[in-house]
Amino acid sequence: MKGEKFLRIIVILLIVAVAGYLLISLIPDPTNSYTTYKAVHYEVGGISTSGFVVRSEQPVTGGAGSIVVLTRAEGEKVAKGYPVASTFRDESARDRQDRIDRLEQELAQMNYAYSFSSSGADSATLDADILHLMNQVTIYHARRENEFADSAAEDLKSTVLRRYLSADDAKTLWQRISETKEQLNELYAQAKAESGTVRAPVSGYFSGMTDGYEGVLTPDFLETATVSQFRAARPDQAAVAGAIGKLVTSPKWYYVAVVSPKEISGIKLGDRIDVSFVYDFYQAVRMRVERISPSEDGECLLILSSQQSIQNAVSTRKQTADLLTEEMSGLLVPKAAIYADPDGTSCVYVLDGATARKKTVQIIKDIGEQYLVTLDRSSIANLWPEDEVILTKEKMYDGKVMVK
């Protein structure tokens, strides 16, 4: 009897002890506060910087004291001796030239249509020609080859006119051609002394914008420039006084920026990197590392070059760009969530139900207040996207009960 009574007492004490432990574990501990942060997949690759576009450039002058009308689009390629602008003594002379241009276009279309008015071309053939010319206009505009696009557009108008020209229409058309020629002869005589033409002194890609850097920031300057010399460069406005635009004389162009050697420690001469510009470019440009200047007060010049997309680079000067110098991907975790083991490895604790589970991580990049750590999907024991990483000031260990 005494043995049974003693055993009963022991069982009761054990039940009370277990119940007490459970009650205590459920009471919130004010020192055991924590928050969680979901690990997210993140890709990083390079630096953002602000720099200058440099080209071989020659200002185009002419038309001083006159009304100047540019006849070339930005980035359009122009041969030496071809017109880039028209000049007029006054507004009436300019209006007269606009009328001449319209009449010349109409005359060319009418002559083309009349010359084929008696041909045997059928409607299906002409319809095919119209579709072909429409495609050509679209292609030339996409390439910024505006001169060819305009020519194709004029051919398109003439072909459409020819497509719907009847025999009776041909007689009326010939009369209209004669009248237009007479009007043009009168206008030519009036405009001869009141207008002029500015022609390209060299072949190149035209731009109507000048800023004074044309003779300051040059490819030759970049070959030996230091950081301090680059920072001291100032535009020479006197050199472009009276200029109506400029010609970029080489398809090779440059992008130069001041960066820290640490930012570009992973690149070397000859490397090719993708550069995404904020303005004027529709996609990233593959550029070659042309030169890295000697370090000066913790800075150096990074000079990149390209022979692509010159039509987009003729006007812009100062540009913000993202340089893809390296490609990294992993998981972002707050620095406060990283713990160091005695053996030097790093780890985090993630919330698994109501307990903390330890997961080893490898830091690959410092990103401000966070670290980029490796993403290894070979085991669920590794850190995965959406894992709830625990942030707390308390001492952590694997299996710790986390109660808020």
Higher pLDDT, 361 or 101: 361
Q: Which long-range contacts (CB under 8 A, 24 or more apart) does 27-31 make?
A: 28/403, 28/404, 29/403, 31/394
Higher pLDDT, 120 or 290: 290
- Whether 179 shows a pLDDT value over 80: the answer reads yes
- Whether 19 shows a pLDDT value over 60: the answer reads no
- The gap between the terminal CA atoms of the chain, to the nearest Å, is 47
Separation of alpha carbons 128 and 159, rounded Å: 10
Tens of pLDDT, residue by residue over 120-167, are 456 667 677 777 888 887 887 777 677 677 777 777 776 766 665 555
Strand partners, 356: 351
Looking at the chain, the whole-number percentage of residues with pLDDT higher than 70 is: 83
| Residue 321, C-beta contacts closer than 8 angstroms, at least 6 positions apart | 48, 49, 50, 51, 255, 257, 275, 276, 277, 278
Where does the pLDDT of residue 14 fall: very low under 50, low under 70, confident under 90, or very high at 90 and above? low
Looking at the chain, the whole-number percentage of residues with pLDDT higher than 90 is: 44
Across 164-192, average pLDDT: 75
CATH 3.40.720.10 fits 27-44+328-404, yes or no: no
Question: E strands, 203-362, where?
Answer: 204-207, 243-248, 253-259, 272-277, 285-292, 300-306, 318-324, 328-334, 339-340, 346-352, 355-361
Mean pLDDT of the chain: 84
pLDDT of residue 107: 84
Separation of alpha carbons 272 and 46, rounded Å: 13
Across 215-239, average pLDDT: 96
Domain boundaries in the chain? 27-44+328-404, 48-58+203-326, 85-198
Where does the pLDDT of residue 333 fall: very low under 50, low under 70, confident under 90, or very high at 90 and above? very high
- Whether 96 shows a pLDDT value over 90: the answer reads no
CATH homologous superfamily, domain 48-58+203-326: Efflux pump adaptor protein, beta barrel domain (2.40.30.170)
pLDDT of residue 85: 92
Rounded to the nearest 10 degrees, how much is the dihedral formed by the CA atoms of 328, 331, 335, 338?
-120
pLDDT of residue 168: 55
Window from 116-125, 237-246, 290-299, 340-349 with minimum mean pLDDT: 116-125
Separation of alpha carbons 68 and 91, rounded Å: 11
Closest CA to 117 of 158, 176, 70, 67: 158
Structure tokens at 10: 């022991």
Tens of pLDDT, residue by residue over 31-67, are 557 899 999 888 766 788 999 999 999 999 987 668 8
pLDDT of residue 8: 63
Higher pLDDT, 14 or 402: 402
Across 246-264, average pLDDT: 95
Where does the pLDDT of residue 118 fall: very low under 50, low under 70, confident under 90, or very high at 90 and above? very low
Across 293-312, average pLDDT: 95
- Phi and psi at residue 273, to the nearest 5°: -130, 155
Residue whose structure tokens are 């410092």: 366
